[in-house]
Structure 1
Amino acid sequence: MAVLLNGSGDGFGVGWYDSDYAKDDEKKTPCIFTSVTPAWNNTNLVRLADKIKSPLVFAHVRASTSGAVNEANCHPWNYGKIMWMHNGGIAQFEKMKRKLLSHLPENLFLFVQGNTDSEWAFALFLSFLPNIDADRFDQTQLKEAMVKTIAQLNAWAEELDITEPSLLNFAVTDGESVVCVRYISSKTEEAASLYFSSGTRFECYRPGHYRMIKADRREDMVVIASEPLTFEKADWLTIPTNNLMVITPKLNVLLQPIKDKFYNPDRGLEPLPETTQIPDASLRLTQTV
């Protein structure tokens, strides 16, 4: 699995889980490499990418909206085995921050090292988990904590009369499951874009051009990205605005709308081009309500 969130050139980060960890090692934690240099101009990133193999990768290119440009503010972050990143911004976070800090228990208040709204949102998410130091997390726990995080941010915004919408494309993983959300606190505006693709592998069919191969209608990989990574439009599906996506350890893709006051049933999956044909078994997409 891979999750890639786009930004600009204010630093970047890559987090991954070692592919050689012992299968019974429930305490595995991710490796994280961050830098304040642009991702496309970092020699060490090229060296690492050429050698590292991993079953699950998070990658983030930062566009600074809050917090200084330093490594402490580069996504992703981790707490134990849990890894988190964010594309977007919490509207008028400076007004909301005091409420968030008062909500957090002491250990999570002390956990945050940077000063971005994204990392504080991670601490808020962790506060909704039943046991943040657990050896194993159920995907339902991650999903419910994500929904509670968004609901709490919305509640504080309403209390403080913040009407500007927040862009909350959050992604979290425990190394087994992935939960991503494409969300905006608006009933009419669209959230920041988010797409996914699944199949067996990406294949280069001419220099600089790749397409997703679905050998024997298998899904051996799922890629989620802020923008499509290839020119093949048929390889990518749009995650609808204000929907939550879960990728299970078996690579099942589960999609669920967030039915709060900003829910709009008219915002659904964008139709594929008329020429697109997807085999019946090529995508295990389950709509849950």
Structure 2
Amino acid sequence: MCRFLIFKGRDPILLAHLLTRPEHSIINQSYDSRLRIDTRRPINGDGFGVGYYTQEADPELGDAPCVFCATTPAWNNMNLARLAEKTKSSLVFAHVRASTAGILSENNCHPFTYHSLMFMHNGQIANFGRIKRKFVAHIKDAYFLFIQGGTDSEWAFALFLDCLDKLGTNPADAGPNGFGHEILRTAMLKTIEYIKDWSKQCAVGDLDKDEPSLLNFAVTDGHTVVVTRYITSRTEEAASLHFSTGSRFIEYKPGQYKMERRDRRQDVILVASEPLTFERSDWVTVPTNTVVTINNQTVLLHPIIDEYYQKDPSISRKSDFAASRGLVSPIVEPQAVTNVQLPPLEREGRRRLSLTA
């Protein structure tokens, strides 16, 4: 199934350092499937997309991101390689697709955009065919008419926009500093709540035997990034998700990259379905059913506390379901990371990470 990558930095980075040059870049992940268990769909060749924000505020350009996508396999698109060698940005979303819903078309390629907002998804919505009517009945016409493709992911984005609207925020007007991390996180959690409840209502047979939803969502307004690692199950792991922070993401020899850490800075933050480097110390595994927020180059982890939350950190989850969908990568043990903050009231029950503040 799909893979995605997020970069947020104090300074812009050449897209090639994320997309094409690393030996295990997200483009190479689309065909080099050594970490993939799903043999039904061994490659992510159903299109790709990259979205990024321009560096200088320009009224003529507006605040919307630039998005380039195509239905060709990412490894076989010369225009993408040329673009990556000549483009820099401090906030980048990239996605390679192995389709589960929706035909092969550019309208179904991630990331999706709405004014300044950009959204992508790794996973699947359980019972999507049966709950689609719930989406139609719930969301406002403006967001229903916004949908151009047929993926469950784009419908989830439309629902997210509707949640923002119903929280009293106009999704078309982020303002000069964006919406703020709290409102984006709240809208994301409401989106998950609706999908979870509708899937239950439309489930057939025993809920425990019904396929769970895998909801690794990512959204940004050009300032703040909110990402989830979530599954509607108490026993299964969600699709894999990792993050890395440091002072620089550097190429120390051709094709080989590592995260450099000096003075415990977080000038560079990467979030990825699959690590871009093979350095174990570079990456931290995001716990299942967690929302990750990147705000002012600070990473915040919040547990998603609902009926699928496991308060006891000693309980291990199975990875069978996510593995069968090709949505796991090797477990990266938690490492020391600076400036990762947990809100005081939500630390109880949080799976322990080896973090230093």
Q: TM-score normalised to the size of structure 2?
A: 0.74
| CA distance in 1 between partners of 2:214 and 2:313 (Å) | 16
CA contact (8 A) 2:215 2:229 kept: yes
* Stretch moving more, 80-89 or 27-36: 27-36
| CA drift at 1:25 | 9.7
| CA drift at 1:133 | 2.1
| CA distance in 2 between partners of 1:264 and 1:13 (Å) | 34
Q: 1:124 to 1:267 in 2, by over 3 A?
A: farther
Q: 2:333 matched to which residue of 1?
A: 272
Q: 1:187 matched to which residue of 2?
A: 234
* 2:184 partner amino acid: L
Q: 1:203 matched to which residue of 2?
A: 250
Q: 2:53 matched to which residue of 1?
A: 17
CA contact (8 A) 2:174 2:221 kept: no
| CA drift at 1:188 | 0.6
* 1:135 partner amino acid: A
1:92 paired with 2:127, answer yes
Q: 1:151 matched to which residue of 2?
A: 193
1:101 paired with 2:136, answer yes
Q: Percent identity?
A: 51
| CA distance in 1 between partners of 2:313 and 2:150 (Å) | 33
| CA drift at 1:107 | 0.6
CA contact (8 A) 1:112 1:120 kept: yes
RMSD between aligned residues: 2.2
1:139 paired with 2:181, answer yes
| CA distance in 1 between partners of 2:87 and 2:332 (Å) | 36
CA contact (8 A) 2:47 2:73 kept: yes
Gaps of 5+ in 2: 1-5, 9-17, 19-25, 31-43, 205-209, 317-330, 347-357
1:174 paired with 2:221, answer yes
CA contact (8 A) 1:35 1:71 kept: yes
What whole-Å deviation, never above 9, does each CA across 1:134-166 have from its counterpart, x for those lacking one? 233121110000000000011111211253200
| CA distance in 2 between partners of 1:211 and 1:224 (Å) | 14
- Find 1:234's aligned residue among 271, 281, 287: 281
1:57 paired with 2:92, answer yes
* 2:338 partner amino acid: L
Q: 2:118 matched to which residue of 1?
A: 83
Q: 1:30 matched to which residue of 2?
A: 65
* 2:53 partner amino acid: Y
CA contact (8 A) 1:27 1:135 kept: no
Higher relative contact order (CA 8 A, sep 6+): 2
| CA drift at 1:208 | 2.5
1:251-266 pair list within 5 angstroms:
251-266=297-312
| CA distance in 2 between partners of 1:34 and 1:161 (Å) | 34
What whole-Å deviation, never above 9, does each CA across 1:79-138 have from its counterpart, x for those lacking one? 100000000000120000001111011111100000100000000000011221223312
CA contact (8 A) 2:280 2:332 kept: no
1:41 paired with 2:76, answer yes
| CA distance in 2 between partners of 1:92 and 1:251 (Å) | 37
Q: TM-score normalised to the size of structure 1?
A: 0.91
| CA distance in 1 between partners of 2:272 and 2:217 (Å) | 12
1:285 paired with 2:324, answer no
* 2:245 partner amino acid: S
| CA distance in 2 between partners of 1:201 and 1:271 (Å) | 20
What whole-Å deviation, never above 9, does each CA across 1:12-36 have from its counterpart, x for those lacking one? 00000001225x9995110000001
Q: 1:200 to 1:229 in 2, by over 3 A?
A: same
Q: Classify the secondary structure of the residue corresponding to 1:47.
A: helix
Q: Classify the secondary structure of the residue corresponding to 1:55.
A: strand
| CA distance in 2 between partners of 1:56 and 1:271 (Å) | 24
* 1:164 partner amino acid: E
| CA distance in 1 between partners of 2:251 and 2:68 (Å) | 27
1:2 paired with 2:7, answer yes
Q: Aligned pairs, how many?
A: 281
| CA drift at 1:77 | 0.6
1:216 paired with 2:271, answer no
Gaps of 5+ in 1: none
